[in-house]
Amino acid sequence: SEAQVLAFDAVTGRRVGRVSLAAGSPIAGRFNPIDMPNGVAFDAAGNLIVTDIPNSNPVSDHPHDAPVTPAVYRLPYADLDGLAADEPGSADRVQRIVMPTTMPNGVACSPVDGSCWLVTCCPHCAFGGAVFRLTDVDWERGTLPAPTHVDLGMLDGIGVTRRGTVLVSTPLTGDIHAFSADGRHQLLDVSGETPVAMPADINVVYPPFLGGEPA
């Protein structure tokens, strides 16, 4: 199937657009076809963030043998219509940060400062399972900063609350880590137990019935 990002009307469920990431797309023409888009998020400016965890190699799961370079991409809000229409040149301002020694998985954007947070998911991760925070400076440089947290194991989902707490899931252990803005590291549990057996993706929302508090 074609690698792409699909947009749907949240009320009707009607598909309203798509951005192709496959061979022949503007993004593939500038960089390479995205092999396995596994994380997606919008930042405060409306830019679309996509992580590529290229797992389709049938020979090895090692990042160095992946069909394309593991990377995270930022698609500018102003160019999304052009990218959806496959217009030539629409990917000229797309930014990429490669992650050659690990594979990016979940991604989320902070409502506090607009920074982009992502996790790695690979048994061969050079950091033993890491969390990264990307700022505009990192995107402009196109380089991966040092991780904020390491040695957490195989990670999957990530979310950020409005107070800046970063939530990270580790499916194999069943843990959900919480890293508060003031530097505390805690494990989320309910009555002393992990909330679910295999936590994967995380989405932080703010339902009205909770008075704007995150869920």
pLDDT classification of 165: cutoffs 50, 70, 90: very high
Has residue 78 got a pLDDT over 90? yes
155 backbone dihedrals φ, ψ, rounded to 5°: -105, 160
Has residue 149 got a pLDDT over 70? yes
At 215, list the tokens: 């869920």
Full-model pTM: 0.93
Segment 61-78 mean pLDDT: 85
Has residue 58 got a pLDDT over 90? no
> Mapping DSSP to helix (H, G, I), strand (E, B) and coil, where does residue 179 land?
strand
> Mapping DSSP to helix (H, G, I), strand (E, B) and coil, where does residue 137 land?
helix
Q: Strand 104-109 relative to strand 95-98: parallel, antiparallel, unpaired?
A: unpaired
Listing DSSP states for 9-67 in one string gives -TTT--EEEEEE-STTSHHHHHS---S-EEEEEE-TT--EEEEE-----SS---GGGSS
Provide the residue type at 163 as one letter.
R
- How far is CA 120 from each of CA 6, 106, 154, 205, rounded to the nearest angstrom? 23, 8, 7, 23
78 backbone dihedrals φ, ψ, rounded to 5°: -65, -20
